[in-house]
Every structure is written in structure tokens, then in C-alpha cells.
């Protein structure tokens, strides 16, 4: 019983006087074993208790929290994850937040809202994410509606400063909302890949801003918060997995090195449970030869002590474990007072410097090393306690020097079998197979884009799903680039894989890609859509995914008898029904 209830009862007991018992039941009957004074006192006492209980325990009425809308544009799930964090944090600040994709709302609908936060990622060539494209196009259009000054907003952008269109989408959204009349409650923040500190700064500034602070519900500090399950292992707290196997899938004549990687998760428990469609985060270590090259170019021994956020360490250990040795960011150029081209790596800049560089200045100009996300290519039902990846080693030449990727070569050639590596499961926001096992699936994944579809097919096999499956796969040469050939042939023979369309771009006089096969089998493709098939695309966002979407629109237009706008509307409906999903990078 709360303090106010106790005080009221104490007053009743001290006074010995009954409360007004009008319309209250008689608690002590007249023939009870009490005299009149006792009966009057007890009736008053129980009447008080009854009145308190009828009044909800006498608790003070809580002041309602202020409604808040949080919208996100997310491709890999980071913006959605931060939006969930905002929802939780906002409850402590007096706000009742709801989160949703940007495409769930039309720009005109913003006019009815008072407090809106947007977390938007930029990917590709300065493009909005798949779940923000419609909203972005509508807001940026010439006929976008005016917005009232009562709409108080702030935008947090996610991007990568090594790309030329860094945070373009968040900048565009922030400027356009203000241009249309909405009120910017807190300044835009444009986060780089190492986003944690900047995001937390923005979050704090938003709720301290007068337009938010003055509107917060009075009960904010004591608001109940729905606790969401948080895994023990995440980006900042990885699990130490074990490399079980790494096998090259290409033939000896291939120009590529694509590895099938198996990682043991023993001891991780349910915190490492994953579903097909999820990704695995990998924390790599830098190549020690590249570390030595950086130290030599900077004229350092490697034993100099430097200060990092995690504490002091030697510059050699910092370069090996903690820092990005490739990217020259705007921060790097400003701190070191150098001019850089887009295709310039760190070693190129240091090689042009005269007189070396102080160790602390070196590390202060570098970005933190970041984990890499890889689509999971296994079903946990078929491979309990382990996870599989399909990883292409990155090798190329730049400025006359051979270069290579960090994580792909760490897995492929620098980490020995039985070696430990930091991993965590990165949940997909949307890229999951339907719960209905009768739903037909169309999967389009050339090259390493086959990874999630190997997992999909293993899952459907384990679930004995009755839905039809159609896979589009392609690469350069059938003889040496046919990834998982034996497994795919086996699924074709068993009937799990109803249709397998293969495109080999270097085996004939003309280059053949998966989009060509989609148009070639357009009538059948459209018939699958009409009977409820879901389309999944995985792979390169810049060219492949765009070319495939063009082919899809062509097929819908031709075999669905629709004009250009009609085909776009059909595809938009597939998106809304979650029957058109992309895992692109």
C-alpha cells in the first residue's frame, strides 16, 4: 500500500470517526458482536479502505507521455537498431515513441505530427535505402506538401566518409523538411562508420533541445520501459568463434578466390542463434606486413605508446588490432594537412610525407577498424552449432601496387584452422523466407550473392517446405566458377530446386547475366508472381541489382500488360507485401 493510503488510514484510526458511508455497503451488521461505538468505528475504517480501492489504490494519476514518431531508413539494420534504442531512451525522457520505416508514411501525413526523429542511412551512390525510397522521392519532389512549423524534427544520418556522397540522404531530408516549413529542433548529425559516439551526442542534444524538453511528459523520469531482449554478443561485445574450415570453391583456372568458410559457435548458446537471412559480423585483424609498411613510412619503431579510447597501447598493436589502415577520411586530410584523391590509401599518403610522423598524430588521423558483415550461407537446422559464409577474397591493383581486402583475406589466408575470431549475429530487418512453406520463392544471386540462398534452400529442405523454388545464379565460367555446384545439382535432382537458371558471362561470344535470363523466361517468371511468389535479390547494388530491377519491370509490363507506371505500381505493391526483398551491398 502506498504512503498516501497509509496516511489516510492512520487519520481514520486516530479520529475514530466514520467516513461518509452514503452509497457504501454496511460492513458490520447491526447484530454483530460489537457495541455501537465499535461498530461505527469499524464501518468507517472499512468504508475508507473500500473507497481507496475503488479509487485505484489512491495513486496519483500519471501524466501521459508525449507522442513521438521515430522513422528509419535502413539497409543492413543499423538504423533500425538505433531507432529501437531511441524508443527505449525516449521513455526515460517523457516520450512515448513508435518506430516505423520511412516508407510507412507519406510526406503529407507528417503535418499531423508534432515530434519526429529520423535515422537514415545512405548507401550506394548517395541513394536512400530500400525502405526509404518512396518517402524520399515524395519529399524531394516539386509538389511535396508544405509542412507546419508545429512539426518539430531532427535527423541522424549514417554513412561512410570514404564515399563521395557521404550522408547525402540525411542531408537532403534535413534541408527539405526545413524548406517545407517544419522546425528543426536539433541540428543534423552525420555519422561515419564509427557512429556510436556521434549518435549518442545527437540523442542527448535532441531531448535537451527546448522544443523537446518543454514538451516532455512530466512522468518521463519514472516511465515504465518495456525491456527488449538484448543478446550478450554484439558489435562491441563479440563472441570468440573458431575457424573450422576454409575451402576455395573455384577451380584452378578461375580469376577469383571464393572461400566457403565454416565457423564454430560452441559455447555461444542462444545469444548466437540465427535465422537464414541474417548476417554474421566478423572482426578482422590487419595484415602484419601492412602494419610494418605503415610504420616504416611514418618512420616509427612500433613501440611508441599512444592513447586510444580503450586506453594506452603501442602504436604497432593499435595498427594491428584497432585502426583502419586503408581509408583516408576527411578527418585524416584535415589533421595531417594533406590533399588526397578518392583512390588514395593511407600508405600512399604516408609515402609522400617527408620527415615521418609522430605516433599519436598518426593514430589520431585514422578511423577505427570496423567489423564486416557477411550474409550467412547455412541453415542452423542443418548445421547446429556452426555458421557458414561464402566470402570472395578481395585482390586488386592501385597506383601500381597490389592491394587486398582486410576481412576477406583474414578469413581466407591469414587465420589458421582452429584459430579464434570475434563474431556476432547481425539480425536482418526483413530478408527472411516466408513462414508459409507453400509460398514459391524466386532467388536471384550471382557470384557470392548465392550465399543466403544456399541457406534458404537448406532451410526449406529441413522444413520439408512444399513451395516451389527457382534460383538464378551466374558467374564468369561454368567450369571453374560454379559455386556449390554439387549441392545445387543434388537439389535439382531431388526436386527441391524446381528451376535453376544459370548465366555464364565469359563462356560465349556474348555476355549473359541473370537479368537476361529473367527476360528470356519472362512469361513463366510473371506467372510465378501471379501465384504469389516472393522475390529475393542478393549481390552488388551498383549494377546487378539495378539491372535486375529493370528486367523485372520489363517482364511485369510485357506479360502483365501494364504501362510503365503500372509496372512500377505492381513492383511497389510487391514491396509493401514484403514479396520483393533485397540484400545488396
Burial of 195 (0-12, 13-18, 19+ CB in 10 A): buried
Compute φ and ψ for 359, nearest 5 degrees: -60, -45
> What span, in angstroms and rounded, lies between the C-alpha atoms of 168 and 172?
6
Instruction: Give me the DSSP letters along 212-266.
Output: HHTTS-TTGGG----PPP--S-BTTB-EEEEEEEEEE-S-TT-S--EEEEEEE-T
With beta carbons less than 8 A apart as the criterion, state whether 463 and 533 touch.
no
Task: Return per-residue pLDDT of the chain as tens, 585 residues.
Answer: 444 444 444 444 444 444 444 444 565 666 666 666 666 666 665 655 555 555 554 444 455 789 999 999 998 889 999 999 999 999 999 999 999 999 999 999 999 999 999 999 998 789 999 999 999 999 999 999 999 999 999 999 999 988 889 999 999 999 999 999 999 999 999 999 999 999 999 999 999 999 999 999 854 443 444 455 678 899 999 999 999 999 999 999 999 999 999 999 999 999 999 999 999 999 999 999 999 999 999 999 999 999 999 899 999 999 999 999 999 888 898 999 988 777 789 999 999 888 889 999 999 999 999 999 999 999 999 999 999 999 999 999 988 899 999 999 999 999 999 999 999 999 987 899 999 999 999 999 999 999 999 999 999 999 999 999 999 999 999 999 999 999 999 999 999 999 999 999 999 999 999 999 999 999 999 999 999 999 999 998 888 999 999 999 999 999 999 999 999 999 999 999 999 999 988
Residues facing residue 472 across a β-bridge: 444, 501
Burial of 259 (0-12, 13-18, 19+ CB in 10 A): buried
C-alpha cell belonging to residue 214: 518543454
Q: What's the pTM value of the predicted model, to 2 decimals? A: 0.84
Q: Give the residue from 180, 208, 169 showing the smallest Cα distance to 110.
A: 180
With beta carbons less than 8 A apart as the criterion, state whether 113 and 98 touch.
no
> What span, in angstroms and rounded, lies between the C-alpha atoms of 194 and 200?
12
Q: How far is C-alpha 538 from the chain's CA centre?
A: 16
Compute φ and ψ for 182, nearest 5 degrees: -70, 160
Alpha helices in 63-162 (DSSP H): 78-91, 133-140
Amino acid at each position: 500500500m502506498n504512503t498516501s493510503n497509509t496516511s489516510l488510514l492512520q487519520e481514520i484510526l486516530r479520529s475514530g470517526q466514520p467516513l461518509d458511508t452514503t452509497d457504501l455497503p454496511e460492513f458490520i451488521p447491526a447484530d454483530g458482536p460489537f457495541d455501537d461505538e465499535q461498530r461505527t468505528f469499524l464501518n468507517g475504517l472499512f468504508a475508507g479502505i473500500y473507497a481507496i480501492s475503488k479509487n485505484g489504490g489512491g495513486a496519483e494519476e500519471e501524466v501521459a507521455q508525449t507522442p513521438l514518431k521515430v522513422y528509419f531508413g535502413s539497409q543492413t539494420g543499423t538504423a533500425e537498431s538505433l531507432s529501437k534504442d531511441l524508443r527505449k531512451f525516449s521513455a526515460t525522457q517523457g516520450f512515448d515513441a513508435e518506430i516505423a520505416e520511412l516508407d510507412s508514411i507519406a510526406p503529407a501525413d507528417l503535418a499531423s505530427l508534432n515530434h519526429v526523429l529520423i535515422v537514415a542511412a545512405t548507401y550506394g551512390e548517395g541513394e536512400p535505402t530500400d525502405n526509404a525510397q518512396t518517402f524520399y522521392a515524395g519529399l524531394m519532389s516539386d509538389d511535396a506538401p508544405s509542412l507546419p512549423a508545429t512539426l518539430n524534427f531532427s535527423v541522424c544520418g549514417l554513412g561512410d566518409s570514404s564515399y563521395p556522397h557521404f550522408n547525402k540522404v540525411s542531408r537532403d531530408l534535413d534541408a527539405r523538411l526545413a524548406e517545407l516549413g517544419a522546425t528543426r529542433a536539433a541540428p543534423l548529425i552525420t555519422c561515419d562508420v564509427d557512429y556510436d559516439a556521434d549518435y549518442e551526442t545527437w540523442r542527448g542534444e535532441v531531448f535537451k533541445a527546448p522544443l523537446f524538453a518543454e514538451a516532455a511528459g512530466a512522468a518521463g523520469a519514472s516511465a515504465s520501459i518495456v525491456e527488449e531482449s538484448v543478446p550478450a554478443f554484439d558489435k562491441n561485445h563479440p563472441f570468440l568463434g573458431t575457424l573450422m574450415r576454409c575451402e576455395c570453391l573455384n577451380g584452378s583456372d578461375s580469376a577469383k578466390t571464393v572461400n566457403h568458410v565454416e565457423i564454430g559457435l560452441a559455447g555461444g548458446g542462444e545469444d548466437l542463434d540465427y535465422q537464414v537471412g541474417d548476417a554474421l559480423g566478423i572482426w578482422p585483424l590487419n595484415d602484419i606486413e601492412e602494419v610494418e609498411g605503415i610504420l616504416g613510412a611514418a618512420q616509427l619503431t612500433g613501440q611508441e605508446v599512444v592513447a586510444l579510447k580503450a586506453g594506452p597501447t603501442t602504436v604497432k598493436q593499435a595498427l594491428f588490432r584497432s585502426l583502419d589502415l586503408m581509408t583516408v577520411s576527411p578527418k585524416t586530410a584535415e589533421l595531417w594537412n594533406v590533399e588526397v584523391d578518392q583512390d588514395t590509401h593511407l600508405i600512399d599518403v604516408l609515402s609522400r610525407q617527408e620527415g615521418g610522423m609522430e605516433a599519436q598524430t598518426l593514430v589520431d588521423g585514422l578511423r577505427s577498424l570496423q567489423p564486416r558483415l557477411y550474409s550467412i550461407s547455412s541453415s542452423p537446422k542443418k548445421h547446429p552449432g556452426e555458421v557458414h559464409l561464402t566470402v570472395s577474397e578481395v585482390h586488386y591493383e592501385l597506383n601500381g601496387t597490389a592491394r587486398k581486402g582486410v576481412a576477406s583475406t583474414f578469413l581466407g589466408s591469414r587465420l589458421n584452422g582452429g584459430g579464434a575470431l570475434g563474431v556476432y549475429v547481425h539480425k536482418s530487418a526483413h530478408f527472411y523466407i516466408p513462414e508459409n512453406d507453400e509460398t514459391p520463392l524466386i532467388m536471384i544471386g550471382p557470384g557470392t550473392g548465392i550465399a543466403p540462398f544456399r541457406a534458404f534452400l537448406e532451410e526449406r529442405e529441413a522444413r520439408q517446405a512444399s513451395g516451389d523454388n527457382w534460383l538464378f545464379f551466374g558467374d564468369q565460367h561454368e567450369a571453374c566458377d560454379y559455386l556449390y555446384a554439387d549441392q545445387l545439382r543434388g537439389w535439382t535432382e531431388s526436386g527441391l530446386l524446381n528451376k535453376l537458371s544459370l548465366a555464364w558471362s565469359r563462356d560465349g561470344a556474348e555476355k549473359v547475366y541473370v537479368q537476361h535470363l529473367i527476360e528470356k523466361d519472362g512469361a513463366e517468371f510473371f506467372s510465378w508472381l501471379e501465384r504469389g511468389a516472393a522475390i529475393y535479390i542478393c549481390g552488388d547494388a551498383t549494377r546487378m541489382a539495378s539491372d535486375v530491377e529493370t528486367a523485372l519491370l520489363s517482364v511485369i509490363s510485357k506479360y502483365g500488360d501494364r504501362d510503365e507506371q503500372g509496372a512500377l505500381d505492381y513492383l511497389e505493391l510487391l514491396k509493401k507485401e514484403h514479396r520483393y526483398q533485397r540484400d545488396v551491398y
